[in-house]
Amino acid sequence: MSETVRLLCYWIGLVLLTAATVSVAGGISPPWPQLCVTALAVAKAWLIIDGFMELRHAPRAWRALLLAWPVAMAAGVLLALRQAGY
């Protein structure tokens, strides 16, 4: 697969995940929108890290560090929402 086609596939994936985020955010009763939107955001971060930043071939420590960051932020956001009563 050429580089252009691969990047186009990643871009289409990001567009589809964004459309899914918008549709989920408007139609489900809490707490599911928060969980779904956060999971979709983590999936988008994974696509950006592995696809556009091309860290899928990087040393494992760098890749693990950058993939752990969105997961940690998502957990923090969900915890803050839970503490706030949402």
Give the pLDDT confidence of 4-56 residue by residue, as tens digits: 999 999 999 999 999 998 888 777 666 678 888 999 999 999 999 998 888 88
Q: How far apart are CA 7 and CA 3, in angstroms?
A: 6
pLDDT confidence of residue 56: 87
User: Structurally, how many domains does the chain consist of?
Assistant: 1
**How confident is the model at residue 85, as a pLDDT?**
84
Q: CA 11 to CA 5: how far, in whole Å?
A: 10
User: Residue 13 belongs to what domain range?
Assistant: 3-84
Give the contacts of 45 (CB within 8 A, at least 6 positions apart). Answer: 67, 69, 70
- Residue 34: its pLDDT value, please? 85
Mean pLDDT, residues 61-67 taken together: 93
Mean pLDDT across the stretch 53-66? 91
